[in-house]
Structure 1
């Protein structure tokens, strides 16, 4: 920007700021329009003029002006390429691409401005690409926040009726088959989840791990063999949600199905399959759970709970077992639903207290088990309130306050999506009830 033009721009901005301070907003906006005409071919002055127009809009509580200026601040990147409509005054009351007559006293200052050199032009192309990327991210985050707000509104309006004729079980044994830690190095471990539950003789396979390395046998199959568990001994398969680390791998998640390993075994006709979204399995029906539902005497799904994550929307259900004489045992896959919603739903649909929780609750702070190029994937994309509102230790402490209010007999936490730091916090906070979920370490609950 040449000296005369710069001085003229600064003069208009100085007048605008003084009038703004004196609350003469109409006169201030007039000088901002003149500053916009002078500075719109130069990125920083262009943004400055729109920024002060935004301030005027905010002071007037003019929603149209506020929205218009926010959009124009983003679109100011056009000045980096010389893409500006000559004479445009920059307010939200005019089209941002409309050329307009230039006042005579300003036209003389603008007539000698030269087109940018090829080097400056190339630099501007790069700058526009970066700004466009930032704008895309901003719009994506805005859309994400809108979806979060919509889901939260739906949650507040939901009124799930209490389940009737739930029944009860007397003896429950939970064998972790896949998780991050193991009680013995003989067992395979990974950032995935799978449990085998035995409830009064009924065998329920809860999730199927990750098999990220496409191993044969998979960690799940290898551990099942060590425990002498075969597919034919299973009565039910219960899928908490359809993330790859719970359905046997990315390939199966992409194909809208699940598997024990690199091949899908034929399942016995007696096996019932329960999933929170419509899924398929070769030659076998899959029951789509849409609401709290009893799936066997004393055993129920609390129903899918929707959550909008940065990685996309997820529907996750937890398994609830009504243990006679004790109350509700919750088995949780990832905890994407949030502990507060899980507890709220459980209290709404069961006429019994929660006395035990087993599973992963998704506390990847300060770090999770999945990283890429130094980015904590579980914390950034699969938990918290968004890119700029990630899960914190304070959030974990709030959840621990909720757990403490439940007066649990057992809190067994997994570590495929929760850090060892948080597990150590839980051990200190719940010395009488806490234990780590480890492959090979059986969890028993009886009446």
Structure 2
């Protein structure tokens, strides 16, 4: 297979490690000098519903995902059912043979119309409704099939590390799926192990067990599928320094760089991740006697040594915007982050900031609407609302970012504009950018 880029997808129930496995895959590829672009899709529930993560790789700069899938890595039946027919001809599917006799109609979290489509497609090809029938249909379409018996391999890993608990071993199936993918692609094993160790660096034992699972997966693939897969993934030598960062985090880093010292928020998807990213990194020393005796000296020392940002979760979005405005009134660069329904509640506060010429930044993460709408799905429908939010007329600036790099630099710009023109500035991001 000769192509300039490669698209890989993994899926599973929310809470099963899909996000972790995709980050390991993308980090391992990025560590090898490849450019990556990841797209995350998930339901608005914490555990159980289906989520998936698509990672695109290339030797060239990437700025978007693609709809086609070159390799689908699965460890549950729903991912196989939902995405097997999306894999392109000459692509690959990795699956667990223990799932072969599970039936499409018995998967509780697949919607009825999707089940009807799948069973109809299988029936029209003279096939039943089990996973093995779906695999056969994909094979007829020219897809390469690779069966990986995860638990069988993991039991050997458990023996190696003295772990007999099946539930503990089962947590590593997502890493096994990643490792099997890279093994079939002929990618460097040590690079994958390094990515695993970095992902679990706070848990050394877990990191080594998962690294062991990577080695076991590589051994199995080398023994069972010596020819691997038609597409080979090779590292690219580069001395260029790059950031491996998600949209939410890119905006958070840029806020720190821009000198934001107060961030307020009320939890809402997909904006919350940015504030939680900042919360994990806020550094505020409340014990220094110098700061109490001479606040200006204490602040200067603190900012010189560490930098700090106060991140406050308020009781609602009305409090979030008014508290951010309060910060702006004291001369502090202040911001709040929200999404559509939350921004609706901020309209009156925005008007107050407008009439009083208060520099404040609102980062508005657009999502599917109206009302509660589709909290975890993409839409760019809030531009008109941002232009006219609040009664009466007052100046406001709006910037809409088109990709992650723009989102980073625009974040710095909005603070500069707010301060220069003493007016509210609204920064439009969207769910796709936030979770890419």
For this structure pair, what is the TM-score category when the shorter chain's length is used for normalisation?
A: under 0.3
> What's the TM-score once normalised by structure 2's chain length?
0.26
